[in-house]
Amino acid sequence: MKVLVVTAMYPKPGNPAFGSFVSTQVESLRQSGVEVELLVLSGKMRKLIYPKGVIQLRRRLADRSIDLVHAHYGYVGMVARTQWQLPVVVTFHGDDLMGTIGPQGQRRHFSRLVGRASQALANRVDAVIVQNRQMASLIPKANAHIIPHEIDFDVFQHTPKGQARTILGLDPSRKYLLFAANPTIPVKRYPLAQAVAEHLGREDSGIELLVVHTETQPRLALYMSACDALVFPSYQEGSPNVVKQAMACNLPIVATDVGDIREVIGGTAGCYVCDPTVEAFAHSVRQILQTCERTQGRDDVQQFDTPIIARRVIDLYESVLSKKNRLDRASGMSVGPPSRKFNAESRCSARKQYDDCG
């Protein structure tokens, strides 16, 4: 099986965190035996990368060995669907389907139109991957598959706090709260995190908020080991990777009830789902700082391990290709040579990984 992954977000030297969740999935699929080609839409003028992407896509599809196109985000899915020779799978990540959030928590008017366009797109592609039940409710059930992004457990694991702080040059005596998102993105609600830190700082001058959003994945894992709590006050989410990664590092978490957060952290002692107020967040953070204990979060997110999620994505690919082949045979079209299929050896390898982790 050969898959062309198309995305407008992918890590680059100046911003290694940009689209890291896409690169993690690409690598996990490759390790599970799928041949993956990558098309990253990029350019100085972001609005022009999509029409340019249509041309780039057609050039790539001149290679007849590609079996399926997997697009990440709605706009990229629209690019992918400009062709009909190959099946298309689209992963929606959140605001591309639900709408973009403004500074006061309101959905921007234009993004509502984008959301409707994404819903229309979902009816015209072969399968859709979404991050949570709320997103799935917005598109036809038969076409929606809830497959959150995976965690690289080799990268995200707990390092002793003192060791992590030494590596990062952090004060061993301070109490660090982590805000692991770009503070300029309104949906992440940085002002609330900042207000919580300031409120607690008036009680204890040793409390400090660290803002981390452009670090590599290994460095982010170190910050998660070095800090005392993750503060995650978003207005809206799909299935936020940073929360799952923090769980893998056994970092206590205080978060709003958005996306699948309650499902992910709600049963873990030392993690709190809160109302979006300074008082509620401060109360939960205060409880965490009183004990400074790590959680058992890693045990509670094993279902997001890379081989398990890769297997679920591969199963979806195979289902889509099987349906296409049945339709091709019914119409008298050639279904392509057997060498293009996901071979038995690769399938066995991926299945073994799944079984070992399950």
The tens digit of pLDDT for each residue in 47-76 reads 899 999 999 999 999 989 999 999 999 999
Kindly list the distances between the CA atom of residue 354 and the CA atoms of 24, 59, 245, 347, in Å, as whole numbers in the listed order: 17, 35, 20, 10
Tokens representing residue 86 in the block: 């190959």
Position 350 confidence tier, pLDDT thresholds 50, 70, 90: very low
pLDDT, tens only, 195-239 = 999 999 999 999 999 999 999 999 999 999 999 999 999 999 999
The mean predicted confidence, pLDDT, of the chain is: 92
Residue 155's Cβ-side half-sphere holds a number of Cα atoms within 13 Å equal to 20
Q: Name the residue ranges covered by the structural domains of the chain.
A: 2-150+305-357, 161-303
- DSSP bridge pairs for 211: 179
161-303 placed in CATH 3.40.50.2000: yes
Q: Quick one: 2-150+305-357 is in which CATH superfamily?
A: Glycogen Phosphorylase B; (3.40.50.2000)
Tokens representing residue 46 in the block: 């972001």
161-303: same fold as 2-150+305-357? yes
Give me the pLDDT at residue 142, please: 75
Give me the pLDDT at residue 333, please: 64
The answer to whether 265 and 247 have CB atoms below 8 angstroms apart is: yes
Q: Is the pTM of this model over 0.75?
A: yes
- DSSP bridge pairs for 12: 15
Give the amino acid at 216: T
Give me the pLDDT at residue 357, please: 39
pLDDT, tens only, 142-177 = 789 999 999 999 999 999 999 999 999 999 999 999
Give me the pLDDT at residue 354, please: 39
